[in-house]
Structure 1
Amino acid sequence: MMISSEIKIAGIESLNTKLRDWGLDFVQLDRGILETGLTKAEMPGISLQHISFSKKIWQRGSPPSNTITFGILTSDEAEIVWNNQAITPTTLELFGREDKFDIVSPAGFSALTFSVNYDELMQLKEQCGFPLDIDLISLAHRVESANPLTLNKLKMLSEQILYLQPFENAPHFAEELKSDLSYLLISALDSPKVHRFPMIKLPRDRLIQKAMIYIQDNIATPILVGELCSQVYTSARTLTRCFQSKFGLSPKEVITYLRLQAFRRCLIENPQLKIYQIASLFGFWHLSKLTQDYKLVFGELPTQTRLKMT
């Protein structure tokens, strides 16, 4: 049986909740109202989804457990770099069974993801006779330059599954589509034109990771850039260069976005608390400045966020 649905997303917090299997912790890093698109199709052993964002998003999370997840970029707005490797519409991403991802996507981002049950992929490999080491593939994240023709077929088939409904009255047709999708995914890995790029961690990545741990541990208090520099043992110039490289933002801007996002999450999750009470919990002592910054980032007032919840 195949179930396809378009899911309405009210904001980044709603997305994090809707995709619980992905353990998401997405953060908006752009000003204005975020528009998010999410369409999913569930098949036995395979989950397909198309997701898009109108704003820059810091994406963190992990694919569903015991799956091998494939990703294809479907937007051309900007090149995305993850672990110092370029992700483009001509590359195929692979996420291992225990993998985590950490990526900053630009405004206009759009992508397809395919999460295939590990046992399903092993069975398909045996049926089709592909000489692939699934266990090796499932170990860690990789970016592969795949056959453009295969990628285009995957995109077209995904569009048919996601948007050309219904399948309830044609179960055999749905099963054929699932088989075709599985075959294309595994054949993309078996292509002789595949080029594998190793993931590279730089000292910059470790510095950013340390800074983020400190920010998250102290998210409820105002954090000065100088304070952050002393905690990670680096200069303001070096920290700024690292943050600009990853986020396209200064450390101060990233701290502001993260603190406002945490405030917004608390605002949504704790309707029994007054806005000024939540503000004090996060060290926002000037409500007028908080309201101004909040509207600048999210395109609405805290009171409007609350009204949307009722």
Structure 2
Amino acid sequence: MSSFHQATTPDSPWVQVLDTQDMDQHALAQQGWALQYEQLSPGQFKGRIHQVQLPEVTLLREDTSIALRQRGRLDDSVYGFAMALQDSPDLFFNGQRVPAHAIMCGKGDEVDLTTPPHFTLIAVVVNRSLLNPLWERMYQKPLAHWLEKQLVLPTTDIKAQNLRDLQLTVLDQASALAYRQHDPQALRQLRDEILMEWLEALPAQVDTSELPTLERRKKLVDRACELMLGHADEPLSILEVCSRVGTSRRKLNYCFQDVLGTTPIKYLRSLRLNSVRRALRQAAPGVTIQDIASHWGFWHLSQFAQDYRQLFGELPSDTLHKR
């Protein structure tokens, strides 16, 4: 299923419902956002995007079939609030494990989300120009400073379930109204209703005392990833990575488990295989699988082909022929 209702003016609402079979296509289809996905678990990707654009607010439901790391940005002028439709112990947001019934929120200048297989995300993205005056009216004080960060905040199971139910209902109702485009007042009422529900689900007090420690762990993981990708054709050993980032192997493993829920070796292999897949799909005529595999440090082609097929469900030659 695929449908898109285009806005008739820049301020008109629009709706997108898109079934995808390609991870990169799925990321690019999320209008106005710059995202890149990496596949972390075996299988062929299947996804669905249900996106509704209202005045100064975007509503989203995203379904994905495999474990992913999603990175990128939305926009400096927006704030996002998101939640898993079904709780999972293998969900991480900006280096923080997401417990049951938790809200992921923060400024849209950075997105870093690691999701499990068979995952559904619900979210609302709101412009600062709408959120700031609404926040001041609700709480009689300026927009909270902690919203400039990316945080995982607790809420109650009742508030979480009410929020999930209302988000799905409003997505369907707003989609129907946006297609007809004859009742802007009803759309604004739906927008305000769901936005208020998200804000009222936030805790009254937010403790950010642990954030500096979490940010240091994430920076260490990000630095290690940069180093490993920077030596793609001759992969560094874990001991070499530890030496260059100034940490022990034990601490590096701990930080990767804490930030991404996996080990450095396993994550790097997935990252390199994803890079090979993108290169195969963009390969110029005459470029061979061996050329690309060796560039990313895969020298034993039979083992590489086996690992590639295990992760993506097809051989490298299948990917190359699809380009």
1:130–1:190 Cα change, 3 Å: farther
* 1:124-159 per-position Cα deviation (integer Å, ceiling 9, x unaligned): 457x65524226354222333346555444433432
Identity between Structure 1 and Structure 2 (%): 24
Aligned-partner Cα distance in 1 for 2:257–2:124: 31
Aligned-partner Cα distance in 2 for 1:245–1:86: 7
Aligned length: 306
Alignment partner, residue 145 of structure 1: 154
Where 1:134 maps in the other structure, the secondary structure is: coil
1:11–1:97 Cα change, 3 Å: closer
TM-score by length of 1: 0.83
Alignment partner, residue 185 of structure 1: 195
Aligned-partner Cα distance in 2 for 1:250–1:70: 28
Alignment partner, residue 164 of structure 2: 155
Contact 1:222/1:283 (CA < 8 Å) preserved in 2? yes
Where 1:223 maps in the other structure, the secondary structure is: coil
- 1:279 equivalenced with 2:293 (yes/no): yes
How big is the shift at 1:67? 0.8
* 1:209-236 per-position Cα deviation (integer Å, ceiling 9, x unaligned): 3211212322343332232222223333
Contact 1:157/1:177 (CA < 8 Å) preserved in 2? no
1:182–1:304 Cα change, 3 Å: farther
- 1:119 equivalenced with 2:126 (yes/no): no
Aligned-partner Cα distance in 2 for 1:250–1:25: 21
How big is the shift at 1:2? 2.9
1:87–1:251 Cα change, 3 Å: closer
Aligned-partner Cα distance in 2 for 1:43–1:53: 24
Aligned-partner Cα distance in 1 for 2:156–2:249: 44
2:269 to 256, 262, 275: 256
Which amino acid is the alignment partner of residue 164 of structure 2? Answer: K
How big is the shift at 1:68? 1.4
Unaligned runs of 5+ in 2: 1-11
1:45–1:222 Cα change, 3 Å: same
How big is the shift at 1:163? 3.9
* 1:283-304 per-position Cα deviation (integer Å, ceiling 9, x unaligned): 3333322211110111111222
Aligned-partner Cα distance in 2 for 1:78–1:6: 28
Alignment partner, residue 65 of structure 1: 76
1:73–1:148 Cα change, 3 Å: same
Aligned-partner Cα distance in 2 for 1:29–1:79: 12
1:193–1:236 Cα change, 3 Å: closer
Aligned-partner Cα distance in 1 for 2:122–2:142: 24
How big is the shift at 1:116? 1.0
Aligned-partner Cα distance in 2 for 1:241–1:150: 33
Alignment partner, residue 9 of structure 2: none
Unaligned runs of 5+ in 1: none
Aligned-partner Cα distance in 2 for 1:55–1:239: 25
Contact 1:132/1:190 (CA < 8 Å) preserved in 2? no
Aligned-partner Cα distance in 2 for 1:150–1:236: 41
- 1:176 equivalenced with 2:186 (yes/no): yes
Alignment partner, residue 107 of structure 1: 117
How big is the shift at 1:118? 1.3
Report which stretch shifted further, 272-281 or 211-220: 272-281
1:180–1:145 Cα change, 3 Å: farther
Alignment partner, residue 51 of structure 1: 62
